[in-house]
Amino acid sequence: MGLFNFFKGKEQDAPVTFPAILGAPSKGVFVPMNQIPDEMFSQGIMGVCCGVDPGEGRVYAPIDATVTQLTDTLHAVGLEAGGMEILIHVGVDTVEMNGEGFTNTVKEGQQVKKGELLLTMDLDKIREAGHPATVILAVTNTDDFAGVEETGSGAVQPGDGVLRVNK
């Protein structure tokens, strides 16, 4: 992680070109920010974001990045890319599941490529627990950028552009 520290988190091994396009983290149906079933996200409190109502239990990297955080409950992953702090949060109130039905495939400090598998989730277990399974993609430091805007709509495949970040 030497280069990462040297640049104080502003760069990574693969520099990001702006405007940066963040890809859909899952296969499914695009969910605009204002329709995410969690006020912390739908009101932009966690930064500009969007969601995907997943059609399968896989979550992928939206851009080449460094894994900066993994929750103990396995339902969220923090990434850093070109100064962007990116949060992928799987489901609403899924922290209550204490990791049941979730499996990480990456570790903190790992470099990931766009489209690389980050975690898997058991959609049936999430639904049985009574939680929406929406996969939320947020730029938590939105204020550090000139603009973050939603670009997705309808059915999306992993990697399809859903957020554009302007420096």
Report, as residue numbers or ranges, the catalytic residues: 89
Q: How far apart are the first and last CA of the chain?
A: 24
CA 116 to chain centre: 12
Nearest to 79 by CA among 55, 48, 113, 53: 113
Is residue 35 within 8 A of residue 13, CB to CB? The reply is no
Q: Go through the chain and tell me how many residues it has.
A: 167
3-state secondary structure (DSSP) of residue 32: coil
β-pair partners for 53: 29
Count of CA atoms in the C-beta half-sphere (13 A) of 1: 12
Is residue 92 within 8 A of residue 62, CB to CB? The reply is no
d(CA 125, CA 110): 28
